[in-house]
Amino acid sequence: MRILHVVNHTRRQNGNVHAAVDLACAQSELGHEVTLCSGGGDFEPLLRANRVAVETLPDLLAKGRLLQACRALRALAAARDADIVHAHMMRSAGLAWAATRFSHARLVTTVHNAFEKSAILMGVGDRVVAVSEAVGVGMRRRGIPAGRLRVVLNGTLGNARHRHEPPPKPLTLEYPAVLSVGGLHPRKGVLDLLAGFSQARRARPELHLYLVGGGPCAAEYRAAVAAADAGHVHFCGSHADPRPYMLGADVFVLASHADPAPLVIPEAREAGLAIIATRVDGVPELLEGGAAGVLVAPQAPAEIAAALLAVLADARSLADHRARSQINLRRLSVQRVAAETLAVYDEVLRPRARRARPSPIGRETVRNGQAPT
């Protein structure tokens, strides 16, 4: 099969990019002819090393050059004789839709950031892949027909980004070490985590919290650290590979208010951490419904504090929660993601699917005054 992936860029520290790169490499390993087109970025050498052809189109990122980007992408799809064009971001999806009209290539889109209102634009695909069941439910409610929507749960274990690297060395962190990895912005619930951690420290003053990530609210969050917690909350900045922190920590906490299917959960599980995470979007699916970690309500610092104290009650409790994180871990492999995604491609390439090409969002047939479901 000839597959053309399209992303805005291939820069590090972007979960959508990681998912697309992992998938492209896994599909190439299975013997498919895979190309990844972007505006450029960090992962191009890795892609080439994994026999993924790389095409850089600067117009994909350039403002005011949509027509040029569309023409270039259409020419590339024709030159590659692509069977499937797979878009992973909203700008690239719109360009890919225009580029694949009146061609034999079929368009597949993946909804990564379903919390964004503009994610409805991903519905232009002949098939729309949701990265969790929760995202699938949300997209159906927003008008994506169930007949075009498929769910492929995110997974990243065994990816090419890490497979050929030397094993990371764990950092030496203060025990007990609580870790969170993610952007420093409101959606990640950092203020809830800081408040919950502070409450937990009233009973366990020896706790330390490590925040790995950067973002626009870094200064605000530093200022929000309680005076009593000074020296126990560590802002570690952004790191291309957070695994040394994961291997050195004891408990991983994700306090997000919204998170479709964060790749950091499989990574934290693979590192053997005890997991505490909010019950939002696809997070429960990544934690086996709570069997592989402790689920708490979003925006509930008291629940975070209680969970931390329960997990760290004694050495046996921590060991038990670490062991829980390994339940059904293989399900989160990128090889499973690749196989399920290829099944979506096979489905959309069937002769019947070719004859019934769907219309873009906003032009669906309306029957009896009702939007299609």
Structure tokens at 172: 């030496």
* Predicted local distance difference test score (pLDDT) of residue 13: 78
Other CB atoms within 10 A of residue 333 CB: 19
At the topology level, CATH places domain 166-330 in Rossmann fold (3.40.50)
Rounded Cα–Cα distance for residues 164 and 206 (Å): 37
Q: Is the CB of residue 197 less than 8 Å from the CB of residue 227?
A: no
Most confident of 117-126, 289-298, 351-360: 289-298
pLDDT (0 to 100) of residue 362? 40
Residue 367 CB burial class (10 angstroms; 0-12, 13-18, ≥19): exposed
The CA distance from 132 to 111, in Å, is 9
**Average pLDDT value for residue range 169-190:** 97
pLDDT at 353: 44
pLDDT at residue number 304: 98
Q: Which two tokens stand for residue 72?
A: 């270039």
- Domain 2-155+334-355 matches domain 166-330 at the CATH topology level: yes
- Which carries the bigger pLDDT value, residue 126 or residue 371? 126
Structure confidence at residue 160 (pLDDT): 94
323-346 pLDDT tens trace: 999 999 999 999 999 999 999 999
> What average pLDDT does range 104-118 have in this prediction?
89
pLDDT surpasses 70 at 123: yes
Interacting residues of 111 by C-beta distance below 8 A, sequence separation 6+: 119, 122, 128, 129, 130, 131, 135, 139, 260
Given pLDDT bands bounded at 50, 70 and 90, which one contains residue 102? confident
Answer for the pair 302, 193: CB distance below 8 angstroms, yes or no. no
For the stretch 47-78, pLDDT in tens is: 999 999 999 998 888 888 888 989 999 999 99
Check: CB of residue 50 under 8 Å from CB of residue 160: yes
Given this model, what pLDDT does residue 96 score?
Answer: 94
Q: DSSP letter at 357?
A: P
* pLDDT bucket at 15, cuts 50 / 70 / 90: confident
Beta-bridge partner residues of 370: 367
Confidence at residue 156, expressed as pLDDT on a 0 to 100 scale: 93
Q: What are the pLDDT digits (tens) for 242-254?
A: 999 999 999 999 9
Structure tokens at 80: 């590659």
Average pLDDT over residues 94-112: 93
351 pLDDT band, cuts 50/70/90, is low
2-155+334-355: which CATH architecture? 3-Layer(aba) Sandwich (3.40)
Mean pLDDT of 226-230: 94
pTM: 0.90
Phi then psi dihedrals of residue 261, to 5 deg: -170, 75
Among residues 81, 133, 69, the alpha carbon closest in space to that of 283 is found at: 133
**Mean pLDDT (whole number) for 267-274:** 98
Which residue(s) pair with 38 in the sheet?
Answer: 56
Angstrom distance (rounded) from CA 350 to CA 357: 11
pLDDT value for 27:
98
What value does the mean pLDDT of the chain take? Answer: 92
Class of residue 63 by CB neighbours under 10 A (exposed 0-12, middle 13-18, buried 19+): exposed
Q: Would the pLDDT of 300 be above 70?
A: yes
Q: pLDDT > 90: what percent of the chain?
A: 82
pLDDT at 314 over 90: yes
Do the beta carbons of residue 327 and residue 288 sit within 8 Å? Answer: yes
Mean pLDDT of 111-135: 90
Domains of the chain, residue spans: 2-155+334-355, 166-330
